[in-house]
């Protein structure tokens, strides 16, 4: 329940209910002194409009949030490593993250861990490139063709292997009418299939071939994606090596958003962080 409902049931002021809960949670949450992480993931979540972020660190083996900091600056993640301690930092083997330079810099500076880039973010950039092609083709299409494109965005962006037979037939009919869109769709499917590849060496060979396919297709919407992948290739290679991702962070983010909505926004950020740790962290 939210604080107002708890206060009504208990017959006390909501501020009193909050003080009791905050004090209880402060005793309940397990600190970093009891944790010896080796595989970590870091992500950010907006807690308020206007680019107000929290940095959320998860222990991938425990499957728990272990630390939360305000903003997503390098100094914030630095403070996590400082709190964790030099000896424990030296034990960290892998750090999973998106391609956010402040996080990358902090991990390199404070640990010897190998960085794995979460392929969810790469996949999103690829699907965004396909969507740009779709919008461009829609803009220059005639009225009849536009009718065919309407409400087909889902079909174009979703993995082909996840479509049922009826939806696949509808997609094939759409692709047959537009070569550029079909090329973009094939590039998307090829890339996502590569990410499913189990053999590291074969995956990297296929990725090189995909770069050639993008060049041959001549779709400028994919140029930024290729440039990004090549710039951060070391962390993508590590994905094929370790097969780790921040996929679970989406479930955590959904939980955090539910907490935020239930409280109608948190004005006390420390209390909000405690509520996140209560729901997603390692409690004693």
Mean pLDDT by 10 residues, the chain (284 residues): 86 90 84 91 83 90 91 96 96 95 97 93 93 91 81 88 88 87 95 92 96 96 95 94 76 73 67 84 68
Tokens of 165: 């037979």
Are the C-beta atoms of residues 45 and 256 closer than 8 Å to each other?
A: yes
Q: Which of 11, 28, 88 is nearest to 57 (CA)?
A: 88
pTM beyond cutoff 0.75: yes
CATH superfamily, region 3-118+245-280 = Ribonuclease H-like superfamily/Ribonuclease H (3.30.420.10)
Task: Give the pLDDT of residue 192.
Answer: 94
The full set of domain ranges for the chain reads 3-118+245-280, 119-242
Task: Give the pLDDT of residue 271.
Answer: 86
Tokens of 10: 């208990």
Task: Give the pLDDT of residue 272.
Answer: 84
Task: Give the pLDDT of residue 9.
Answer: 92
Are the C-beta atoms of residues 113 and 92 closer than 8 Å to each other?
A: yes
């Amino acid at each position: 329940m939210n604080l107002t409902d708890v206060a009504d049931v208990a017959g006390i002021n909501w501020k009193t209910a909050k003080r009791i809960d905050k004090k209880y949670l402060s005793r309940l949450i397990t600190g970093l002194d009891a944790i010896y992480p080796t595989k970590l993931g870091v992500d950010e979540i907006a807690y308020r409009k206007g680019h107000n972020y929290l940095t959320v660190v998860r222990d991938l083996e425990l499957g728990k949030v272990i630390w939360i900091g305000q903003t997503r600056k390098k100094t914030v993640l630095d403070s996590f490593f400082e709190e964790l301690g030099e000896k424990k930092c030296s034990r960290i083997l892998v750090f999973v993250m998106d391609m956010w330079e402040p996080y990358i810099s902090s991990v390199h500076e404070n640990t010897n861990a190998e960085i794995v880039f979460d392929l969810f973010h790469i996949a999103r950039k690829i699907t965004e490139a396909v969507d740009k092609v779709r919008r461009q083709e829609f803009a220059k299409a005639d009225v009849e063709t536009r009718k065919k494109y309407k409400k087909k965005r889902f079909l174009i962006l979703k993995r082909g292997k996840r479509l049922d037979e009826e939806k696949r037939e509808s997609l094939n009919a759409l692709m047959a009418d537009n070569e550029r869109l079909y090329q973009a769709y094939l590039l998307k499917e090829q890339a996502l299939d590569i990410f499913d590849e189990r053999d590291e060496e074969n995956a990297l060979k296929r990725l090189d071939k995909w770069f050639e396919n993008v060049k041959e297709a001549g779709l400028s919407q994919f140029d930024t994606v290729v440039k990004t992948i090549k710039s951060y290739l070391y962390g993508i290679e590590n994905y094929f090596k370790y097969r780790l991702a921040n996929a679970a962070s989406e479930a955590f983010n959904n939980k955090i958003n539910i907490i935020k909505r239930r409280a109608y926004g948190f004005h006390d950020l420390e209390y909000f962080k405690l509520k996140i740790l209560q729901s997603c962290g390692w409690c004693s």
